[in-house]
Amino acid sequence: MSDYVDRLSPMGVMVLALLREGPMHPYEMMRLLRERREDRLLTLANGTLYHAVAKLAAAELIVETGVDRDGNRPERTTYALTPEGDETVAAWVRRELPRIDRPASFRIALAEAHNLDRTETVALLRERRAALEAEADDIARMRCDADARGSEPQYLVEIVRQQALLTADLAWIDRLLDDLITQAYPWGVHASA
Q: For 59-88, what is each residue's pLDDT tens digit? A: 999 999 988 877 677 788 999 999 999 999
CB 182 within 8 A of CB 175: no
pLDDT of residue 42: 86
Give the integer Cα–Cα distance in Å for 109 and 96.
6
Say if residue 141 is in the same domain as residue 82.
Answer: no
Establish if 191 belongs to a structural domain. Answer: no
pLDDT of residue 69: 72
pLDDT of residue 192: 60
pLDDT of residue 135: 97
Establish if 188 belongs to a structural domain. Answer: no
Establish if 189 belongs to a structural domain. Answer: no
pLDDT of residue 145: 93
Say if residue 83 is in the same domain as residue 126.
Answer: no
Establish if 128 belongs to a structural domain. Answer: yes
For the segment 15-24, what is each residue's pLDDT rounded down to a tens digit? 999 999 999 9
Quote the radius of gyration of the chain (alpha carbons, Å): 20
Say if residue 107 is in the same domain as residue 171.
Answer: no
- Average pLDDT per run of 10 along the chain, which is 193 residues long? 79 94 93 90 86 95 88 83 94 96 94 94 98 97 92 91 96 97 87 60
Give the integer Cα–Cα distance in Å for 18 and 13.
9
Q: Model pTM?
A: 0.86
Give the integer Cα–Cα distance in Å for 21 and 78.
13
Task: Provide the Cα torsion 34, 78, 18, 95; round to 10°.
Answer: -130
pLDDT of residue 2: 57
Give the C-alpha distances (Å, rounded to integers) separating 44 from 89, 134, 147. 19, 35, 46
**Where among 84, 111, 138 does a domain terminate?**
111
Establish if 76 belongs to a structural domain. Answer: yes
Establish if 7 belongs to a structural domain. Answer: yes
Number of domains making up the chain? 2
- Burial 42-65, CB ≥16 within 10 A → b, else e: bebeeeebeebbebbbebebbeee
pLDDT of residue 190: 65
* Beta-ladder partners of 76: 68
Report which secondary-structure segment, H or E, holds 80: strand 76-81
pLDDT of residue 67: 86
Establish if 59 belongs to a structural domain. Answer: yes
Say if residue 107 is in the same domain as residue 129.
Answer: no
DSSP label at 142? H
CATH number at residue 22: 1.10.10.10
Say if residue 100 is in the same domain as residue 18.
Answer: yes
**Where among 65, 92, 111 does a domain terminate?**
111
Residue 90, domain extent: 3-111
**Where among 67, 94, 111 does a domain terminate?**
111
Establish if 145 belongs to a structural domain. Answer: yes
